[in-house]
Structure 1
Amino acid sequence: MAIDGGLASLSESLWTAATGTYMLAVVAYTGEYAFGKNGRIAQTSAAQAGVRQPTLVGGGEPGAVGALPDQPRYGAGSVDSGGAAGRRWGRAAVWLTVLAAVFHLGSVTLRGIAVDRVPWGNMYEFTLVVGLMATVAWLATLVKMPQLRYLGLFVMMPVLLVMFLAGTLYTKATKLVPALQSWWLAIHVSAVAVAEGILLTSAAITVLYLVRVRFERQGATGATPARFARLGARLPAAASLDKAAYLSVAFAFPIYTAGVIFGAIWAEAAWGRYWGWDPKETWAFIAWVIYATYLHARATAGWKGNRAAYINLLGFGAMTFNFFVVNIVISGLHSYAGLT
């Protein structure tokens, strides 16, 4: 089947529409974070977690730096003058995220129809799928934990960057090289893309967790939090963020494991061996070991603090290195980036 240039062009137009809509969603999430700092979503998050938020010594605006009060900052059901505006921004942000995801899905789907194959045969297509999975993971998180909605700015900004990255990696719609013409491509690469999209969301939440921990520690000692740590004043309790990051990894890790196993089976069929320590295989294994260590440490040693968070980020760093450096710089049997 020949490449359908019309559908390929429409796919690219939908990528543009998705990227633009993600930008609007980020603006809306920023609106909720700015105008809804005392809105119902933030209040519910703090009230449910029983967080004792810092208040300016001597009386002042809630959320300012200072000593910790004896009572939670927010009372259940209390609403300030900025709450309604914050909720409007938040609802708009979610709907824009859903609309962008629809455009995004349409772009990926039409790309696949245009080339008559699964639409993740090069780095451009794979990056699009990872971004889509990250968005779906965020929307699923909102279904489970809607009180985290006002953090969408920090989760969707990386997704927007991924969309821009896909544009820099753009490759024209083409047929696959013979080595990739296998139904294992649909199984192996899709599993890895789904897992990496979810792990991207987990990494973003983990960064927020570290900011919140630093804010809480400095606030508890009466010290003035550093400029970056002050963002923690409007974040949920560290325990809530830690739990959300952990659940994301716990869900994604079996999918990633299956993806690695499927890749080994495909390697045996294509190259006559299950594992050859190709650079791509090596770094996939390194990332797998790091995430396995993270889950094992939490399950057996009860690590829930900064040490576990750093292991999580180290695992994501290994996956990022595998994606960029191994695909672009290091040559090997998996050099199918489609950039040349």
Structure 2
Amino acid sequence: MTNESFAVYTGLTWTAVIIYVLATVANTSGIIFGRSGYEKNGYKLALAGMVVHSILIAYWWRIVGHGPYMAPSEVLSSDAWIAMCLFLIFVRIYPKIKPVSIVVFPSTFLLLALSMLSNPGIRTLPPTFRGIWLVIHIALYKISLATIIIAFAFSIFCLLKRRYDFDWLQRLPEPQAIDVYAYRFAGFGFIFWTIGMLAGSIWAHQSWGRFWGWDPVEIWSLITWLLFGIYLHLRRFFRWQGERAAWFFAFCFIMSLVSLFVTSHMGTSIHAEYFK
């Protein structure tokens, strides 16, 4: 990678981060102080940030010759892009989820900012990392992450609305409605996590001749999947709702972050090849 390429990459990343930060400030101010104009400007800035972010991903894809799923910087950047993209799609379909932007917007710029702490050097794609099933496997997990961030935001809102009486919280839907949104988006994320695991098994069989190898990433992904399944089971058949459901999902969310961002760095994991 030339110095010029690195300068362009850094410049685009910083530009996207700054725009996302401005979008977060405008959007949060609009929600908390009831300024609809600020909130609208926040969405306009978020769209502008996505345009710059899309150019960044496309540019880096052309430089390295593979999708944004190899180096930690690429993974975090694409996670941020998908989180913002899916939220903007969902908010068009379900306008009532707009307040979730107070969590999604800062999550996006934090993920992108964290990507700058990793060396964005060019990684050579190993032979086992080629193939459509790897792309499907990674894409599905990224979609799952984006949706469980939304479910996590609703779980936090559920806890806050029952405990505090802030003005901006009163503009949110009723606790029962918030609880239902948390449940539905958690189910959506669970479906994509499930299919992502299955796609990963097919990729593992094509690459290493086995569907399951008790790799740390595989184990933790299974544990997280089971926890999300327990959460949905408790809600569907044991009528869990409200605070205890929200607290349990918050735990599931933390475990999903460990599964996605921590276990892949374990030296005993074959997935650690991503980060060499």
Q: Same fold (TM over 0.5)?
A: yes
- Correspondence for 1:173: 122
Which residue does 2:247 correspond to in 1?
310
Kept in 2: contact 1:21–1:99 (CA 8 A): yes
SS at match of 1:335: helix
2:208 paired with 1:257: no
Determine the structure 2 residue equivalent to 1:26: 24
- 2 CA distance for matches of 1:170 and 1:245? 36
Q: Which amino acid aligns with 2:204?
A: A
Aligned with 1:293 (options 227, 230, 234): 230
Aligned to 1:325: 262
- 1:253–1:178 distance in 2 versus 1, CA, 3 Å: same
1:277-313 residue CA offsets vs partner (Å, 9 max, x unmatched)? 1100000001111111222222222322222222322
Any idea what SS the aligned residue of 2:120 has?
Answer: coil
How far apart in 1 are the matches of 2:142 and 2:80? 9
What secondary structure sits across from 2:12 in the alignment?
Answer: helix
Residue from 211, 220, 228 that aligns with 1:274: 211
* Mapped pair 1:121 → 2:70: yes
Instruction: State the 1:198 CA deviation.
Output: 1.8
SS at match of 1:331: coil
What does residue range 1-340 of structure 1 map to in structure 2 within 5 Å?
10-36=8-34, 86-215=35-164, 232-233=169-170, 235-338=172-275, 340=276
- Farther-moved stretch of structure 1 (95-104 vs 295-304): 295-304
Aligned position for 1:42: none
Structure number with bigger Rg: 1
Give me the CA root mean square deviation: 2.4
1:146 and 1:136, CA in 2 relative to 1: closer, same or farther beyond 3 A? same
Q: Provide, for residues 72-101 of structure 1, a one-character-per-residue CA deviation record: whole Å limited to 9, x for no partner.
A: xxxxxxxxxxxxxx1110110111111112
Q: By percentage of residues, which structure has more helix? A: 2
- Which residue type is aligned with residue 136 of structure 1? C
Is this contact kept in 2: 1:25–1:93, CA < 8 A?
Answer: yes
Q: Is the 8 A contact 1:5 1:114 kept in 2?
A: no
Contact kept in structure 2, 1:29 and 1:151, CA below 8 Å: no
Count residues with an aligned counterpart: 276
Greater displacement, 328-337 / 95-104 = 328-337
The structural deviation recorded for 1:185 is 2.1
- Distance 1:279-1:127 versus aligned 2 partners, 3 A rule: same
Distance (Å, rounded) in 2 between the aligned partners of 1:111 and 1:155: 24
- Alignment partners' CA distance in 2, 1:310 and 1:164: 28
Worse overlay, 171-180 or 286-295: 171-180
Separation of aligned partners in 1, 2:38 and 2:207: 51
Offset, 1:329: 4.0
CA distance in 2 between counterparts of 1:148 and 1:181 reads: 37
Shift of 1:6: 5.9
- 1:272 CA displacement: 1.7
2:14, 2:265 → 1: CA distance?
Answer: 24
Tell me if structure 1 keeps the 8 A contact 2:33–2:168: no
Question: CA 1:87 to 1:316, structure 2 compared with 1: closer, same or farther past 3 Å?
Answer: same
Q: What is the alpha-carbon distance in structure 1 between the residues aligned to residue 72 and residue 126 of structure 2?
A: 14
Q: Residues of 2 paired with 1:302 and 1:5: CA distance?
A: 58
Structure 2 unmatched ranges of 5 or more:
none
Q: Determine if contact 2:32/2:167 at 8 Å carries over to the other structure.
A: no
Distance 1:155 1:241 in 2: 16
Separation in structure 2 between the aligned mates of residue 253 and residue 14 of structure 1, nearest angstrom: 33
